[in-house]
Structure 1
């Protein structure tokens, strides 16, 4: 265990201030996330250096389509989460107690170095919620930066402002889940709050590259009005922020029917009125390519990205700049 950051005394124990839940943790107990424990009136993080999963993934799998496309990234995960989404895709590690291996920050950096030959650009903190792995991610991200590589967070965005501001200088890109654009969904389905996530998106997008993912669940967050509200709000922050609509399939505690393809296409059409880059996930090869937002010319064909990706961040037809961070290479 390692002493946790961001907590303070409370008359009933300790108050954790890492995320907006602000859990009051009594002696011997843990917070909602299950990884922060009060022992002798000191808050400890139980998952420091505990890695439940790691793999070398295409950067597009995160999904990040506009950050070093065609590269790979070494992805690490732990256990625990400050949400309890009914549809969680990684519930075995986020909500259960998986087997883990010890992995120090220096060891993680060395693994990333070894994968440079496979186009690896750095480390991604993903699979479970990286904000509840905060101390480890912060230490590792600093080491990754010193090694000249990139850090990526795949997160639900449910973190307090102060810890977010401390880690952001070491983060190069984030994919932030916006689970829905209504408060009731966040509270009932995810045990979270929309407004806190919105604040994270606004702050992060001014500090690093940001892409957004929204899982469309039939009857819960897929109404036309809600999608319009989401995309209008996001467009006011920056119309170049890529938005990924992901297709829901039954998982964990939720057994609703899968999202119809027609709903996915409808959402993309609505979003393109406000945003330059809108993608569809879990639909095979549909909705994954990048087109020029000005003339609609195909710029990046991800069906062929391993062999025939276009190497340009400017439209070959109208010369409009395409918002791409890093070289497009294979």
Structure 2
């Protein structure tokens, strides 16, 4: 065993920062550009100044490990039916009032990060557990980029793929380094107006659109997009039409888009759950904009969970929530009815993992 497996660095040197003339240091990871005096933390809470340097305070520490179906990320065109070893840390660089994982992403209690594991240990356990990939999820991996990137290297050394579930709020230089190490990403596109982003997340839309274009045009990372539809906030016909036209024009018609249902949570408990009809309406708008693969999530919807062959129109993957009910692709991702290759990343299908969620303890040795 590597000696590093016996020692976890909870405070780790951070990349992407510089000193300012007034004595502060500026974090250059994301567009928030936090400027810190000694002892201060950024808005994400996990990147801090110690002395004359920036550190990541959660390296090697997790809020928990779990084995999930890859469809839960959600990723429908990346190793369908496979299991993924999932983990996150704490903190976030967005301030979403509707956060669905707020107990993790908004945590200010570092003591809750009870599970410790080195990048090498995570890769080992993922492979031993039969997982095809490791997902950096639950909170945004952008803020623990150094830990995620080291883990990605360890995973690739063992033949395990990597997945980032992120809001994509990151500057250009770290964006290049981060996504070059990811095999797939699901990016949350929160809405399609800067007003929504600023009022509801404390961020801005443009950097997220830059991230989406970078992934598609400058990396080999497979991309899927998720939009959580919040009644009365980001679900108008006009906004959905503008968003889906932009995706078709700037990213291409083959990028899968997931519309998922909101439930009242965190600071937005006065808004109703998303009606199933809203998801169906959004899906129709996206299909009319020319997108080929549009899905609905957090609901039972056979039509919204089905992947159709773009050539012959036959259903090649049928799903119920995270369960795969039918799989008609070969190992190369070609339709068994007409041999058309579907966009995505595929391999041998050996049965679906299903809707199980298996918590895992990662022992140090």
Normalising by the smaller structure, the TM-score range is over 0.9
Counterpart residue number, 2:296? 280
> 27, 30, 33: which is aligned to 1:16?
27
Asked which structure has the greater RCO (Cα within 8 Å, sep 6+), the reply is: 2
> 155, 165, 186: which is aligned to 2:166?
155
Q: CA deviation at 1:294?
A: 4.2
TM-score, structure 1 normalization: 0.95
Q: Is the 8 A contact 2:222 2:344 kept in 1?
A: no
In structure 2, do the counterparts of structure 1 residues 219 and 27 end up closer, same or farther at CA, with 3 Å as the change threshold?
Answer: same
Q: Is the 8 A contact 2:317 2:324 kept in 1?
A: no
Q: CA deviation at 1:54?
A: 1.2
> Partners in 1 of 2:181 and 2:157 — Cα distance?
10
Deviation digits for residues 78-108 of structure 1, max 9, x if unmatched? 0010001111111111101261121111111
Q: CA deviation at 1:321?
A: 3.0
TM-score, structure 2 normalization: 0.86
Give the secondary structure class of the aligned counterpart of 2:39.
Answer: coil
Q: CA deviation at 1:327?
A: 1.7
> Partners in 1 of 2:299 and 2:324 — Cα distance?
19
Counterpart residue number, 2:334? 314
In structure 2, do the counterparts of structure 1 residues 293 and 269 end up closer, same or farther at CA, with 3 Å as the change threshold?
Answer: farther
Gapped regions of structure 2 (runs ≥ 5): 1-10, 352-365
> Partners in 1 of 2:208 and 2:311 — Cα distance?
30
> Partners in 1 of 2:101 and 2:157 — Cα distance?
31
Within 5 Å, give how 1:227-238 maps onto structure 2.
Answer: 227-236=240-249, 237-238=251-252
Q: Does 1:3 align with 2:3?
A: no
Counterpart residue number, 1:220? 233
Q: Is the 8 A contact 1:32 1:82 kept in 2?
A: yes
Counterpart residue number, 2:119? 105
Deviation digits for residues 92-131 of structure 1, max 9, x if unmatched? 1110126112111111111112112xxx112110000100
In structure 2, do the counterparts of structure 1 residues 306 and 177 end up closer, same or farther at CA, with 3 Å as the change threshold?
Answer: closer
Q: Does 1:292 align with 2:309?
A: yes
Q: CA deviation at 1:320?
A: 3.7
> Partners in 2 of 1:56 and 1:158 — Cα distance?
26
Q: CA deviation at 1:146?
A: 1.3
Give the secondary structure class of the aligned counterpart of 1:110.
Answer: helix
Q: CA deviation at 1:315?
A: 3.6
Q: CA deviation at 1:305?
A: 4.9
> Partners in 2 of 1:247 and 1:157 — Cα distance?
20
In structure 2, do the counterparts of structure 1 residues 165 and 54 end up closer, same or farther at CA, with 3 Å as the change threshold?
Answer: same
CA RMSD in angstroms comes to 1.6
Counterpart residue number, 2:148? 137
> 278, 281, 291: which is aligned to 1:266?
281
May I ask how many residue pairs the two structures share in their alignment? Answer: 327
Gapped regions of structure 1 (runs ≥ 5): none
Deviation digits for residues 271-295 of structure 1, max 9, x if unmatched? 0122110000011244111112344
Give the secondary structure class of the aligned counterpart of 2:55.
Answer: strand
Q: Is the 8 A contact 1:55 1:74 kept in 2?
A: yes
Counterpart residue number, 1:128? 139
